[in-house]
Structure 1
Amino acid sequence: MFYIINKVIKYSPESKELSLAQEEQTSLVLSNQASRLLMELIKNFGSDLTRDYLLKHIWEDFGLTPSNNNLYSAVSEVRKAISSLGITEQVIITIPKVGFKFKCSVDCLPKEINTEKKESKEIKPTSVNHTKLVSFFVAFCIAALVIFYYILVESKGIEIKTSTPSLIDVIDKCNIYSLDSPAVQFKEKVFENIFEKTNLKEECKKNGYNIYYSDIKSIDDYGFIGVCLNTKIKKNTKCFNIRND
């Protein structure tokens, strides 16, 4: 059994793993206490959960010593994990003097079955000549497609362009880049679209990110904001996009 949070994030309780529903290569593993907390929030999403209830079901029932510090630490871990995978709105709501509420959509789905392996066992081996014929036909089709694509590109003079990000400014721990060429945006407009319409301003005080911004509208009339965690080895990891209306 696994769960889809806000149609974006997949949670597998058995492996304690959160990942993007459409891109499972981007994932992270929760600690035991954070995983148990998320499971309680999912089972009771939309309901107010008191601190006493959470302390009992996450720590006491497992023979562990409960404390408010442990609870707040687990809540913070789950919030950061969900935020790093692209859900920027607050889904774990703090209810003063009461506890917490999981405010989001949750879809429960059965465990995936590898039907391809099951079907492959039922397929009888074909003759060697037939297999060679199929392989030759596939290779011929691939070669024909490559040649056709090359001729089409050359005949139309299609040129693939690349864009080199231009550094606009450094805000706290974040580097702000423009993807437009030339970079003609006013800084005020860029900062308004990045910081006033997202929660990245607070994130930049805690974590280092490379933020890539483009003011060129797509066919859906959306701008582009790409956010990548900046590691010590100067390599972007854990990237996600934010739609800018």
Structure 2
Amino acid sequence: MKYIINLNVIFDPDSRVLTLKNDIQQSIELSKPATRLLSELISNNRVNLERDDILKNVWEDYGFSPSNASLNNHISELRKAFTNLGISKDIIFTVPRVGFRMDAEIHPIQKAIAEPAPSHEIPTINQGVKISTNDAPAEIGEPKDRGSLYLSLKKHRMLSFVLALLLLLTTLIGMTTLIHTKKESISFLVTHDKCSIYNLNDNKPDKDYTAKIIKEMTEEGIDCSREDLDVFYAEAHPDNDRLRVRLLAACSKIDATRYKNCLNYKTVE
């Protein structure tokens, strides 16, 4: 079932997508944990949810290891998604010493049966554009308020952000594929269910290092029980020892030398 939030954003749990109601080109794909988290918040709208209950219902019940850090990260992911789609008012609140609460106007979207419009009605496309029934040219109205101009500017900023993100992901995927074709530049670590895990660093990992990678895979929702995946892990300290950048790349295999697609997860701490 889909939901409409604050009469402006449509949430589809099946496709894991948030979409602007009046502009389907503006959409954001959520991670699997963030999708489960938003579904839990919607089911308990305007109710204070304790952290332990959220961790159990969103992570533990699905076989994943819960952690407060992962919960905070995915709360942040949801807040950023709503902000990017034009919901400036914070609808996910932190309840001190308790957990979180969602406070929004939420309506489930029922599937409607389309009926042909009567012939005497004038069809309308969006706001300010009217299709005439005679030979007169269509009338195009001016934007109704400053909100329309603000939304247009946000759309352009969002488009620039998406293009930059796609460029970054394309670069990361290309680097991962290139590294995979050069077996001497990576080291195989361990097989976890159907996943083969490789280390992109030069260090000699121990059992704790491998366990940490598997834990991070679980927190990101990488499911090794369903699909053969090659998982690549890299860790770097670009400025100093206090800043750490982690990269996970999970690639679906076509055959021994080619991949169908790769999903990249980057974390900066």
* TM-score normalised by L of structure 1: 0.51
Partner residue in 1 for 2:88 = 88
- 1:48 maps to a residue whose letter is N
Q: What residue in structure 1 maps to residue 157 of structure 2?
A: 229
Which amino acid in structure 2 is aligned with residue 229 of structure 1? R
Where structure 1 has 5 or more consecutive residues not aligned to the other structure, the ranges are 120-141, 154-159, 161-217, 238-245
Inter-partner Cα distance in structure 2 for 1:22 and 1:35: 22
Distance 1:219 1:55, change over 3 A: closer
Identical positions, percent: 37
Q: After TM superposition, give the deviation of residue 110 of structure 1 in Å.
A: 1.9
RMSD over aligned Cα, in angstroms? 3.6
DSSP-derived class of the 1:65 partner: coil
Partner of 2:73: 73
1:63 to 1:6, Cα distance in 2 relative to 1, 3 A:
same
In the alignment, is residue 60 of structure 1 matched against residue 60 of structure 2? yes
Matches of 1:48 and 1:9 in 2, distance apart? 22
Q: Determine if contact 1:2/1:111 at 8 Å carries over to the other structure.
A: no
Give the 3 Å change call, closer, same or farther, for CA 229–33 of structure 1 in structure 2.
same
Task: Give the structure 2 partner of residue 25 of structure 1.
Answer: 25
Matched length: 145
1:229 deviation in Å? 2.0
Partner SS for 2:45: coil
- Deviation digits for residues 9-59 of structure 1 (CA, Å, limit 9, x no counterpart): 000111111001122221111000000000000000000001001100111
Shift of 1:111: 3.6
Note the residue ranges of structure 2 that are not aligned, 5 or more in a row.
117-131, 166-269
What is the alpha-carbon distance in structure 2 between the residues aligned to residue 89 and residue 51 of structure 1? Answer: 23
Residue identity in the other structure for 2:8: V
Partners of 2:75 and 2:162 in 1: CA distance: 29
1:106 matched to 2:106? yes
What's the CA shift string for 1:181-213, capped at 9, x where partnerless? xxxxxxxxxxxxxxxxxxxxxxxxxxxxxxxxx
Query: CA, structure 1 residues 235+220, in 2 after alignment: closer, same or farther (shift >3 Å)?
Result: same
Q: Structure 1 31/223 Cα, relative in aligned 2: closer, same or farther at 3 Å?
A: closer
- Structure 2 counterpart of 1:79, one-letter code: R
In the alignment, is the contact (CA less than 8 A) between 1:95 and 1:101 conserved in 2?
yes
Q: Which residue of 1 aligns with 2:38?
A: 38
The equivalent of 2:11 in structure 1 is 11
| 1:230 and 1:236 in contact (8 A); partners too | no
Q: Secondary structure at the match of 1:61?
A: helix
Larger gyration radius, structure 1 or structure 2: 1
Separation in structure 2 between the aligned mates of residue 2 and residue 64 of structure 1, nearest angstrom: 25
- TM-score normalised by length of structure 2: 0.47
CA distance in 2: counterparts of 1:60 and 1:149, whole angstroms:
60
